[in-house]
C-alpha cells in the first residue's frame, strides 16, 4: 500500500454514481494503474455526542474496519468541506470503547464493498453500497491548501476519461445517504 496516497489534512474528492461497475472497471483496466485492494468489506461506525455536537459543527468521527485487509482507521472529517484526516489504529474495539467512555455514542453503522486503485498521484475508490448503488470516488490527499482547486480540475479530467460528467456527481456523503435511506 502506498501510504503517500493517504497523507495530508485535506482531501479533494469527487464522487460519481456509476451506472455500470463492470464498464467502469473495464475502462480502468485500459489505463495504467495499481491495485491497493479489491472487494474489501468496510464497516464504519460513526460517533457523536448525545446532543449531536459534532454534526452541528459539520464534523464527522468514524472508526473503520476493513476485511480481509485488516486495516483499521480513525477518521475525522470537517468542519471544512475538504478537511479529512485518518490514522491507522491497532485496536478498533478499544478505540470505540474509549470514545464511549468519553460520552460519544454510535449514531450510524454502515457497510460497503470497496476496491482502491492508484492512477498516478490520485486514488480511485470503487464502492458498492447495498440498497444505495455503485460509486467511484476520485481523490487525492494533500497538506497544500493552495492546490485544492487545481487538484479538483485534474480529478474532473480523470473522471471524464471514464465517461463521467457533472450530472453523475454526488454531493452527499455516504453517511448522509445511509442516514436518509434508513432513517
Give pLDDT tens digits along the chain (183 positions): 455 667 778 889 999 999 999 999 999 999 999 999 999 999 999 999 999 999 999 999 999 999 999 999 999 999 998 888 999 999 999 999 999 999 999 999 999 999 999 999 999 999 999 889 999 999 999 999 999 999 999 999 999 999 999 999 999 988 889 888 876
| pLDDT of the residue at 57 | 96
Q: What is the pLDDT of residue 9?
A: 84
Domain count, the chain: 1
- For residues 84 and 101, is the Cβ–Cβ distance under 8 A? no
Would you give the DSSP letter of residue 83?
A: B
Interatomic CA distance for residues 114 and 25, integer angstroms: 13
Confidence (pLDDT) at 182? 77
pLDDT score at 59:
95
Residue 18 sits in a domain whose CATH number is: 2.40.320.10
Range of the domain at 133: 3-181
What pLDDT, on a 0 to 100 scale, did the predictor assign at position 1? 43
What is the rounded distance in angstroms from the CA atom of residue 147 to the CA atom of residue 154? 11
Identify the pLDDT of residue 32: 95
Closest listed residue to residue 48, CA positions, set 106, 87, 96, 6: 106
Q: Rounded CA gap, 116 and 94, in Å?
A: 27
Query: In whole angstroms, what is the distance from residue 138 CA to residue 27 CA?
Result: 14
Amino acid at each position: 500500500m502506498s501510504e503517500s496516497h493517504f497523507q495530508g489534512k485535506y482531501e479533494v474528492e469527487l464522487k460519481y454514481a456509476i451506472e455500470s461497475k463492470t464498464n467502469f472497471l473495464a475502462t480502468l483496466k485500459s489505463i495504467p494503474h495499481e491495485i491497493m485492494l479489491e472487494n474489501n468489506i468496510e464497516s464504519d461506525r460513526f460517533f457523536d455526542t448525545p446532543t449531536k455536537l459534532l454534526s452541528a459543527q459539520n464534523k464527522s468521527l468514524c472508526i473503520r474496519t476493513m476485511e480481509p485487509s485488516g486495516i483499521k482507521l480513525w477518521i475525522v472529517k470537517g468542519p471544512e468541506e475538504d478537511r479529512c484526516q485518518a490514522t491507522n489504529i491497532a485496536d478498533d474495539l478499544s478505540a470505540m470503547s474509549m470514545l464511549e467512555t468519553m460520552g460519544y455514542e454510535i449514531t450510524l453503522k454502515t457497510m460497503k464493498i470497496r476496491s482502491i486503485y492508484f492512477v498516478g498521484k490520485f486514488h480511485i475508490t470503487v464502492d458498492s453500497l447495498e440498497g444505495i448503488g455503485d460509486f467511484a470516488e476520485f481523490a487525492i490527499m494533500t497538506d497544500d491548501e493552495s492546490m485544492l482547486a487545481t487538484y479538483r480540475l485534474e480529478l474532473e479530467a480523470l473522471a471524464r476519461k471514464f465517461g463521467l460528467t457533472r450530472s453523475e456527481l454526488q454531493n452527499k456523503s455516504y453517511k448522509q445517504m445511509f442516514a436518509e435511506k434508513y432513517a
